Structure 1
Amino acid sequence: MTRTLYNRLGELKGITKLVDDVVNLHMENPHVSPRFIPYKDQPDRLMTIKQHTVHFFCAGAGGPQEYKGRDMVTTHKGMNISEQEFLAVVDDILEAMDKNKFGDEEKKDVLAILYSLKGGVIRI
């Protein structure tokens, strides 16, 4: 039986750790930190964003979690996210995956998911 991406990423626990690491990297990344730093003063809002991200990622990776948040277009509409910002986010995700010792197959699968979402994120 083939393991899903969800299984290979460590299921809920592994994906939660990955999202925490990604958000921490976003806070330090000069290309995207202006969008994330304001949430440092809003810990409840930041926790909600992380929870939605975890559930979105789990559901997209084949996990049993149901994502009940907004779709990508609705979430990012009016944010005018640039290609550079999108790539910075992708870089942070790959760095967090390296930190958590995920392999090339997992990174390739995550990249495929990220690029499938690109049109619903950039400049909408």
Structure 2
Amino acid sequence: METLYQRLNGKEGITRIVDDFVAAHLANPAIKARFENVKDIDHAKRMGVEFMCAGAGGPQAYTGKDMLEAHKGMNISEQEYLAVMDDIVAGMTHEGVDDATKGEVIAILYSLKGDIIRV
């Protein structure tokens, strides 16, 4: 059985997914302002790739802040969190990720919800 990392097509596939969902975030009226104000979007993308690679069981190490520290003081709402999740799912769909794999990624991301919303 392939690992989650392999089913996401490794670092290359994850990089495409991150590129897709960051572009969607920048166009999504619910969250666009937050992402337009990111000083170094390329760094944010790199951290997203590292985070997803490491979380999916890939060999890459995640060198960023933990989710609680990264989102502390941002007062992210439930609606914003769901908008981000929708964009991530759309990115996976665009890259041809199957439903079972998307479900695994969604479950992982939902497990982090408490470290992101209203912290």
The TM-score range, normalised by the shorter chain, is: over 0.9
Structure 1 runs of 4+ with >6 Å offset: none
> Gaps spanning 5+ residues in structure 2: where?
none
> Gaps spanning 5+ residues in structure 1: where?
none
* Cα shift readout 1:22-48 (whole Å, capped 9, x = no counterpart): 000000001110101124xx4xx1111
TM-score w.r.t. length of structure 1: 0.93
Quote the Cα distance in structure 2 between the aligned partners of 1:90 and 1:12. Answer: 20
Equivalent residue number for residue 80 of structure 1 = 75
Q: Which amino acid aligns with 1:17?
A: R
Q: How many residues align?
A: 119
Q: Which amino acid aligns with 1:103?
A: D
TM-score w.r.t. length of structure 2: 0.97
Query: Equivalent of 1:62, from 57, 62, 82?
Result: 57
CA RMSD of aligned residues (A): 0.8
1:1-124 aligned within 5 A: 2-39=1-38, 42=39, 45-124=40-119
* Cα shift readout 1:31-71 (whole Å, capped 9, x = no counterpart): 110101124xx4xx111111011001100000000111100
